[in-house]
Amino acid sequence: MTDELAVILASGDRKVLEMGLVYARNVVARGWMKEMKLFFFGPSEVTIATDPDLRELVEAIIQGGTVPLACKWCSDKYGVSDMLLALGCEVEYIGSPVSEAIKAGYTPMTW
């Protein structure tokens, strides 16, 4: 098993997202893994884009050197692409990047 992690946040539940983002922040801040990729899908994008506390966690992750990748198809559908870009996320179609990370040996962790 590698120490490369792909954290995938898809839930729209604020409490689930808070736990996932706190974990991701700690992975970055404490060096628990050699590398971490952070992906946002669907309902998570709306909740993250509109919740000030979750936005703060995302900002801490970005300051730690990990830029989240949000799904453009989903964020366009929900009208939050500009909000996620302003937060500092990359917004693009992520089916391929998620698949490539898994093929490269990243362990997927889904919240």
Identify any residues that bridge with 108 across adjacent strands, giving them in sequence order.
6
Other beta carbons within 10 angstroms of residue 15's beta carbon come to 8
The single-letter DSSP state of residue 106 is: P
Q: Looking at residue 2, what is its pLDDT?
A: 81
Q: Residue 66 is which amino acid?
A: T
- What stretches in the chain show pLDDT beneath 50? none
Q: Looking at residue 24, what is its pLDDT?
A: 98
Place of tokens 């970005």: 62
Q: Looking at residue 1, what is its pLDDT?
A: 67
Q: Residue 4 is which amino acid?
A: E
Structural domains of the chain in order of their starting residue, each with its CATH number: 4-110 (3.40.1260.10)
Distance between CA atoms of residues 88 and 76, nearest Å: 16
Q: Looking at residue 83, what is its pLDDT?
A: 98
Distance between CA atoms of residues 89 and 106, nearest Å: 20
Distance between CA atoms of residues 50 and 45, nearest Å: 9
